[in-house]
Amino acid sequence: MPLSKTGDGRARRPILISQGEPSGIGPEIALKAFARLNGNIAGRPLRIAGSPPLLHDTAARLNLDSPSWREAIVETGPPVNAEPGRPSVRNAGAVTAAIEYCAAACVDGKAAAMVTAPIQKSLLTEAGFGFPGHTEFLEALTGAKRAVMMLASSDIDPPLRVVPYTIHIPLAEVFRRLDPAAIAATARVTLQSLRTDFGIANPRLAIAGVNPHAGEDGTMGREEIEILAPLIASLRSEGHSALGPRSADTMFHADARRSYDAALCMFHDQALIPIKTLAFDSGVNVTLGLPIVRTSPDHGTALDIAGKGVANEASMIAAIRMAADIADRRGL
C-alpha cells in the first residue's frame, strides 16, 4: 500500500475503513464519508477495505460515481452476496477478513489507523466468531495486554469521554465482575491514552459508583466503600487524578463534565446512555490500549434503514477525524 505525500513532501500513511456488516449501513456510510471528505483527511488518503462488487452496488444506489472511490477500494475477500437489511451468516468471513486486513496493515506500518464500520455481532457469533465484539478481537489480533473501549465526542461542550468497565455482559453479571485490580488497570490505560492520544497533560478521571447514589454511605450497597474507594485511593497514591466514586445520575450534565476529562463507568448502559443521548451523531468508539489506532462510529448496523440511502454518515466522519488526530499525536 503506497504512502501519499503532503505538499511539504512528508509521507502520510492512509487511513483504512473496513466495510462492516454488508447488509447494514456500513458500506453506505463509508462511501458517503469518503465522498464528503473527498477521499482525504489531513493529508491522509482514505481507503475502503471490503468487497468491490458490494461497494460498487452501494455507490450505484447512492448515485455516487467517482473514479477516486473506485481506486480507493482494497479487496479483502471473500466475496459477499448481501441483501440490505437481511444479514446472512455466509458473509461472516468477509466481515472479519476486512478487519484482519486493516489491523495487519496498521501493525505493519502500512496504514496510520483503521476505522471500522458496524458489525452484526449475533451473526458473527453464529458463524463461530469467538469474541464479543471489535474490542476483544483487536486485542487478540494485535497482542495488546488490555484493550479498553471509550466512547467520545468533541462536538459537545464540554467534551464527553466515557469508558465502560464491563461491556457486553448481562447486568446480573456486573457485580461479580467488579475486580479492583482489573478496574484499576482499565483506569491506568484510560489515563495513559488521555495523555498520548488526546493530548491532555494532566488528565482527570471520574469513576462512577455502581449503586444508586454511589451507595449512599453503604445504605444502598457497599461496593463503593469496599471496592471502589480503596482502588481510587491507590490510583491517587500513584500520582493520578482519580475522582469518586461518583453518583452516575449527577455526573453527566455540563457543569459536572467540566470537572473531569473522562468517566470510567461500571457497566455498559451507565456509560453509553449519556453519550448516545448527548452526542448520538458525533460519538466515536475508540479502542484504547492497542499498539494501533482504531476508531468506529458510535452506532450499530441499523438494519431497518439499510439500503434506503438515508443513513447519517456524521459519526463515521467524526471517527475518521478522531483517527487522524490520534495518528498525528502518535507520530504515525
Q: What pLDDT shows up at residue 10? A: 53
Helices and strands (DSSP H and E) totals, the chain: 12, 14
CA neighbours within 13 Å on the CB side: how many for 202?
4
The predicted structure's pLDDT at residue 62: 86
Band of pLDDT at residue 67, cut at 50, 70 and 90: low
Give the number of C-alpha atoms closer than 13 A to the C-alpha of residue 208, restricted to the C-beta side: 27
Residue 8 has pLDDT above 90, yes or no: no
User: What is the spatial distance between Cα 206 and Cα 51, in angstroms, rounded to a whole number?
Assistant: 42
Q: Does domain 1-145+292-332 have CATH number 3.40.718.10?
A: yes
Alpha-carbon torsion (114, 118, 122, 124), positive or negative? negative
* Mean pLDDT computed over 182-210: 98
Q: What's the helix, strand, coil split of the chain in %, to 5?
A: 40, 20, 40
* pLDDT score recorded for residue 70: 79
- The arithmetic mean of pLDDT across residues 60-87, rounded, is 85
> For cell 499525536, what's the residue?
329
> Closest by alpha carbon to 152, among 329, 326, 328, 330?
326
Contact 27, 54 (CB under 8 A): yes
Domain 156-278, CATH among 3.50.40.10, 3.30.70.100, 3.40.718.10, 3.30.565.60: 3.40.718.10
DSSP 8-state assignment for residue 281: T
pLDDT 10s digits, 222-258: 999 999 999 999 999 999 999 999 999 999 999 999 9
**Domains of the chain: which residue ranges?**
1-145+292-332, 156-278
pLDDT band at 6 (very low <50, low <70, confident <90, very high): very low
Over 70: is that where the pLDDT of 294 sits? yes
Identical topology for domains 1-145+292-332 and 156-278 = yes
Could you write out the DSSP letters of every residue in 99-129?
Answer: HHHHHHHHHTTS-SEEEEPP--HHHHHHTT-
Average confidence (pLDDT) over 139-162? 95
85: amino acid identity, one letter? G
Do 138 and 296 meet the contact criterion of CB atoms below 8 Å apart?
no
